[in-house]
Amino acid sequence: MSGPRHYCGVVGINAGHNVVADLQKALMIIQNRGQDSAGVSVFDGVVINTVKDAGLVQVALPKERIENIEGKVGIGHVRYATTGGKGAQNAQPMTLTTAFGMMALAHNGDLTNYAKLKTEYMAQGAVFLTDSDTELIINLLSRHMGQDQDPIKAIKAVMAEVDGAYALALMINGRMFGIRDPLGIRPLVIGKLDDGYMICSESSAIYALGGEIVRDVAPGEIIEVTQTEIKSYAPCNRCAYAHCFFEWVYFARPDSIMDEREVYEVRKNIGKVLAREHPADVDLVMPIPDSGRAHAIGFSIASGIPYEEGFMKNRLAGRTFIMPDQATREKAVSDKMIPIRSAVNGKRILIIDDSIVRGTTLKKLVSMLRDAGAKEVHVRVGSPPIIAPCFYGIDMKNREQFIANKHTVEEIREIIGADSLGYISIEGVVEAIGKPASDLCLACVNAKYPTKIEGEEHRYQTKLTDIQ
């Protein structure tokens, strides 16, 4: 699949005050979901105005630019660029001017039938300016709106056509909608504010704005967010959940509650399960900051082994994961993490990371700990071996990337240079999340996909044929 991928965050607010600053604040809170571009669109009573750019929220949405726009209803987006590049041209919300007014759309997820639909619509004369599936959605919406200008009908018509993962914040002139794909693969939660309502990829932004969580948007549900209420339009009868388990393991903020399970709690549970499944005789448990921190706390609680911080992380360093080649990625890991020598020297250490993809991070960190004087370095991993690509919005696309496809656990242990290596089991991570396995998307660790994808095994069919 080509085109920009959407490992992103969305927000939408409809309230009794100018919401621009709140949108900006919410985007800063969910910046863990994307650091390459940011944008907001607000309706000022006549038109939708948008400010968006490349860079962190502070850079893309500086005070002097956002104070020029105003509106009581608006949406926002943070984007994690992978194949689509980091440029401003890929920043969202994406906007469109149509015969019935203006639309703005912010999207988290990936459509799995994007290429097929795009080809079909191009054959009918549709024109696309980007490689983005968000453009396809907004185009389809505009096309379906054209018929009788009923947004709910138009959204349902689009949902019946597209497959895959999507959590959307949509504005059609001054009306705002939240939409979650039929399996709820990507998260979307509703919050109540003093003078209105909001939706967001992560609940932590709701608390940051002084609000309260109302509930998650249900799989396949369309909601309209007004200042005084949330209107809900029929989730499909046959909807089943397939929450992405990796949101809890790695992607989301620890203080977020997703589909009623707090990320921090789940990560601590993962550590506890790891202590049971792969115990170790060591002096200290150490996290790989930041995402491995709660995992390590859980391991320490369950095992009684003291927890210590052994690495200082340089927060301003770039993302190592998407750097182009192995040497650059390895160098970037050592620029980002510095061992605390006094904590490490002469100790038998167990480190926990959330996942191993290529093995770059752990290989480098194990050797850095040894250089800093560690006597033994044991590794535990908070997700089962990653063996299959994600087609739903997490940047793990290529089977060739995954070290666990080419090597046994023992071989991986040797490659990363650890004294021992233990991955949590699939059953273990399901137990830690506390939802039935059938309600989770575990495709990257069991290669069984919750929607139909050509050439891949699928669990059940999810076409939204029963949404009117």
Rule CB under 6 A: say whether 352 interacts with ligand AMP.
no
Task: Single out the segment in contact with ligand AMP by CB under 6 A; choices: 155-163, 188-196, 355-363, 422-430.
Answer: 355-363
Q: What's 287's DSSP letter?
A: E
Which lies closer to ligand AMP via its Cβ, residue 150 or residue 290? 290
Instruction: State which of residues 176, 282, 356, 366 lies at the interface with ligand AMP (CB under 6 A).
Output: 356
CA distance 394 to 392: 6
Q: CB 276 → ligand AMP: shortest distance, Å? A: 22
Pair of tokens at residue 419: 């004294």
Preceding peptide of 93 cis, ω within 30°? yes
Instruction: State which of residues 22, 353, 419, 439 lies at the interface with ligand AMP (CB under 6 A).
Output: 353
CA distance 101 to 86: 29
Rule CB under 6 A: say whether 395 interacts with ligand AMP.
yes
Instruction: State which of residues 135, 354, 419, 439 lies at the interface with ligand AMP (CB under 6 A).
Output: 354
Rule CB under 6 A: say whether 291 interacts with ligand AMP.
yes
Rule CB under 6 A: say whether 355 interacts with ligand AMP.
yes
Rule CB under 6 A: say whether 421 interacts with ligand AMP.
no
Q: CB 416 → ligand AMP: shortest distance, Å? A: 9
DSSP secondary structure letters along 106-159: EEES-BTTHHHHHHHHHHTT---SSS-HHHHHHHHHHHHHHHH--HHHHHHHHH
Please tell me the count of residues contacting ligand AMP according to CB under 6 A.
Answer: 16
SS3 category, 225 = strand
SS3 category, 40 = strand
Task: Single out the segment in contact with ligand AMP by CB under 6 A; choices: 13-21, 227-235, 354-362, 428-436.
Answer: 354-362
CA distance 103 to 194: 26
Q: CB 401 → ligand AMP: shortest distance, Å? A: 7
SS3 category, 172 = strand
SS3 category, 408 = coil
In the residue annotation, 8 being an active-site residue is answered as yes
Q: What's 307's DSSP letter?
A: B
Are 43 and 174 within 8 A, CB to CB? yes
Which lies closer to ligand AMP via its Cβ, residue 233 or residue 311? 311
Task: Single out the segment in contact with ligand AMP by CB under 6 A; choices: 136-144, 184-192, 196-204, 352-360.
Answer: 352-360
Rule CB under 6 A: say whether 441 interacts with ligand AMP.
no
Instruction: State which of residues 43, 248, 250, 299 lies at the interface with ligand AMP (CB under 6 A).
Output: 250
CA distance 53 to 36: 9
Q: E-strand spans in 348-388?
A: 348-353, 376-381
User: Which residues of the chain form contacts with ligand AMP (CB under 6 A)?
Assistant: 250, 288, 291, 321, 353-361, 394-396
Active site residues: 8
